Structure 1
Amino acid sequence: MSDFKVTPEVELNMAQMLERYQLQDETILRRWAKLHGINSTRGFFYPGEVDLMDHAHHHIYNLGMSIGEYQSLLDRRRSNSHTSGDRNQTVATQVADEAYDAIEMLKEQYSEAVDLMGERIADHFIDELDLSVMRHLSQKVKERRALNGQAKKPNRFLQVIKAVLQPSSENTLLVPRKDDDSSLELEQHHRLG
């Protein structure tokens, strides 16, 4: 929730501004005005200028920013501006724009990470899924053959699955794995849901 004060409808003099921010020193107020290019020597501030000073007060006084940090915040926003009208934007809008830009950058980085890791995860998942399905089918075939009294007879389907599930350097039924984990070891950690 913002602690900004309501923007006045009339000009405020220096004494009113000091009271507004509960400050004792005019030089602090003049420094804040200078950051926004506001002429503080004339002794009063227009409503739009008071609004900018509210932002300076919020960031420097309430959020504990240093003058340099606040100046840097303003400079970054101004350097990103494409029109001269943007220079008079409020700091709240500037901060919101910078936050949006930061979120967009993080989303791009996340997408790149997903693209890179996603392929590896997908390969790993498919390998485990293939093994689970083969084991499941093998078990079902064995159960059915036992019911039909054919458990002792050779079955080509079971022989193929057995060949795939057995880790062997001569096994040409599967593309060789990139890592050293055996397919059986992977299966031990996998639970078919």
Structure 2
Amino acid sequence: MTPTEQLVRGASAAEQSAVRPPLPVKLVIAGGFGVGKTTAVGAISEIEPLTTEAAITEVAAGVDDLSHTPRKTTTTVAMDFGCITIDPTLKLYLFGTPGQERFGFMWDDIVEGAVGGLVIVDTRRLDDCYAAVDYFEHRGIPFAVALNAFDGRLEHSLEEVRWALDVSEHVPLLVFDARERGSVRDALLVVLESALAANGG
């Protein structure tokens, strides 16, 4: 049974045969500064994504580590939003969080109602994703960890990252490319499957 079939398994035969809009499902894409959250939403969204990008000022540059992202000139200051229809029965609404800790006060509002989250990790800067991992763990929200392969390379293996982040074995870890639509889709489907498993699906 596919994830979509499981999500709608409670509907009656009459309801399933009727023409109706797809089931809306909210997912959150989180992670540290400059890990690829906005890129991932833009790569997969079937609509023009809503972004709240602002120019990185000299003051912000003094706070945010730009050493691994020297070409980055903007940053998300509220959230990113996009959506993707998986099939006629299921539509994902994607909300990307701001990466900097100083915008953490927005997270509760952004995450409310989400069935799961995707934490994107830059393996060159593992420290930057601890806050996102802790957030989902402490609130009992199912999540997966996706290692973004910058320039096709990873600084650490999946096993090393699992140990460093101290995430349990039931949390999926995967490698993906935030620029590639198919790669982002596959990562989001892993989050969906984790959410179903956590809810007895």
TM range (shorter): under 0.3
Larger radius of gyration: 1
Give the TM-score of the pair, scaled to structure 2: 0.19
TM-score with structure 1 length normalisation? 0.20
Structure having greater relative contact order (Cα 8 Å, sep ≥ 6): 2
Instruction: Decide which structure has greater helix share.
Output: 1
